[in-house]
Amino acid sequence: MNNWLPLLLTLVIQAMVSMALLTLPVMAPVVAHDLQVSPALVGVYVSMTYAGAMAASLMGGATVNRLGAIRVSQWGLLLCATGLLLCAVPWFPAMGLGAVLIGLGYGPITPASSHLLARTTPKHQMSLVFSLKQTGVPLGSLLAGALVPPLLLVLNWHASLAVVAAVCVACAVLAQSLRGELDQDRQSDVPMRWGSWIQPLRLVLSHPSLCTMAACSFMFSIVQLSLTTYLVTFLHDDLRYALIAAGLALSATQLGGMAGRIAWGYVADRWLGARRMLLLLAGLMALGALATTTLAEDTPQWLVLLILVTFGASAIGWNGVYLAEVARRAPPGMASLATGGTLAFTFLGVVIGPPLFGALSTGFGTYRAGFMGLMVVAMVSGMLLFWRQRSVAQPSGQPSP
């Protein structure tokens, strides 16, 4: 089998589920106006999607072992499509259920892709390859930011959600032709137990290096999803950008994230290593959040884009280095379990982060307050990584060099 085939397939699937998740936040100002609610409620939607994703990620390793990575990915795409159709119904219970289904579809995609890539990628290329695959997340967000606002000009928001759902279904159908080749290692006779959800957590908590990665991803995900969830609304409401211009700014931020994921993966593999790279990214996130709080209506557009692209390169670009380090530190054959366990903490950060960002912004009457909170979170994560780096470099009882 060509090594690029699993990478290409997992990249496309990751992009589609990411686009599905971010489609409603991109159209949040239009939906909120139609339903007569605050756009800040989009944080509740994101929280519900990632609550579903957190539950699904814990079962990801077990379901991948039994069904195969491609079959799990197909089910994920179909769940996302169903969730999008429910979100198109202007009734809050239906939209809430749709958000949970999108999360259930999104959650197992990364454990499935890690399972495929861990067994097809040389160890010295893992940070780069995992970073390339993880460009699917900003790529999906870029597609949402670039395509959804123009789509709203020709269709209403209900039909626009249905279009994205149809593309998810088409992607699931196309993946079927590769299932036989890529799912050969599935163990269909392995029983599924309800206790399987606790196994990834036990694995993470029993390995200090995996615990560090989990805590790091918890805080980084707060920064990432708060940025991508609220950026369009921030630019539209606080900086008076038109919806299409705000969507294009989001796409530019995602481009920065895509470039960052590839660059950081290469630098981590060649020079810094994963933990030093993540420490550097924590500092860049804090500076990006601080710079965003200084933006105003009269800030030149080129400067706004420069700040947001730089912010996106760090806040959206960290995932590949993190996932490669998790797969590298996991016991042999347990990459999907370790990924699912650490992702539970990642998704917990997303469940908590955007609603808190929205609450801060609503309480202070400006989204700048939320970005100031992101700066604090990034600084705390940097302190944790720095402390862990020192504790590894300097074992207890030995003097510092």
Q: pLDDT tens across 65-97, in order?
A: 788 889 999 999 999 999 999 999 999 999 999
Model confidence at 400: pLDDT above 50: no
At residue 219, the pLDDT reads 95
Domains in the chain (CATH in brackets) are: 4-175+196-390 (1.20.1250.20)
Residue 207, SS3?
Answer: coil
Do 112 and 53 touch, CB atoms closer than 8 A? Answer: no
Tokens 């990034």 — which residue? 378
At residue 399, the pLDDT reads 34
At residue 358, the pLDDT reads 85
Q: Using one digit for the tens of pLDDT, what is the confidence trace for 337-396?
A: 788 788 888 888 888 888 889 889 888 888 999 999 999 999 999 988 888 766 655 444
Q: What is the mean pLDDT of residues 169-174?
A: 95
For the chain, helix, strand, coil in percent to 5 are: 85, 0, 15
At residue 393, the pLDDT reads 52
At residue 2, the pLDDT reads 54
Do 129 and 8 touch, CB atoms closer than 8 A? Answer: no
At residue 391, the pLDDT reads 63
Q: Using one digit for the tens of pLDDT, what is the confidence trace for 189-203?
A: 766 665 666 877 888
- Give the pTM: 0.74
Which of 280-284, 314-318, 331-335, 381-385 is the least confident region? 331-335
166 Cβ contact list (under 8 Å, min separation 6): 81
Phi, psi (rounded to 5 degrees) for 184: -65, -25
Q: Using one digit for the tens of pLDDT, what is the confidence trace for 207-227?
A: 888 888 899 899 999 999 899
At 286, the pLDDT band (50, 70, 90 cuts) reads: very high
Do 331 and 118 touch, CB atoms closer than 8 A? Answer: no
Mean pLDDT, all residues of the chain: 85
Q: Using one digit for the tens of pLDDT, what is the confidence trace for 22-48?
A: 899 889 889 998 999 887 788 788 889
Greatest alpha-carbon span in the chain: 68
Tally Cβ neighbours within 10 Å of residue 161.
27
Q: Can you say whether the dihedral through the CA atoms of 205, 111, 42, 300 is positive or negative?
A: positive
Which of 179-183, 233-237, 341-345, 392-396 is the least confident region? 392-396
- Joined together, the tokens standing for residue 265 give 């993966």
Model confidence at 397: pLDDT above 60: no
Q: Using one digit for the tens of pLDDT, what is the confidence trace for 248-277?
A: 898 889 889 888 888 888 888 888 887 889
Q: Which helix (H) or strand (E) holds 172?
A: helix 157-175
- Per DSSP, the residues of 360-385 read HHHHHTSHHHHHHHHHHHHHHHHHHH
Rounded CA-CA distance 328/167 in Å is 33
Rounded CA-CA distance 28/15 in Å is 20
For residue 101, with 0-12 CB atoms within 10 Å meaning exposed, 13-18 middle and 19 or more buried, which class applies? buried
Model confidence at 165: pLDDT above 80: yes
At 145, the pLDDT band (50, 70, 90 cuts) reads: confident
Q: What is the mean pLDDT of residues 125-142?
A: 78
At residue 396, the pLDDT reads 40
| CA-atom Rg of the chain in angstroms | 20
Rounded CA-CA distance 306/298 in Å is 15
- Joined together, the tokens standing for residue 339 give 């990924």
Tally Cβ neighbours within 10 Å of residue 368.
19
At residue 171, the pLDDT reads 95
Q: What is the mean pLDDT of residues 302-321?
A: 92
Which of 15-19, 142-146, 230-234, 393-397 is the least confident region? 393-397
For residue 163, with 0-12 CB atoms within 10 Å meaning exposed, 13-18 middle and 19 or more buried, which class applies? middle
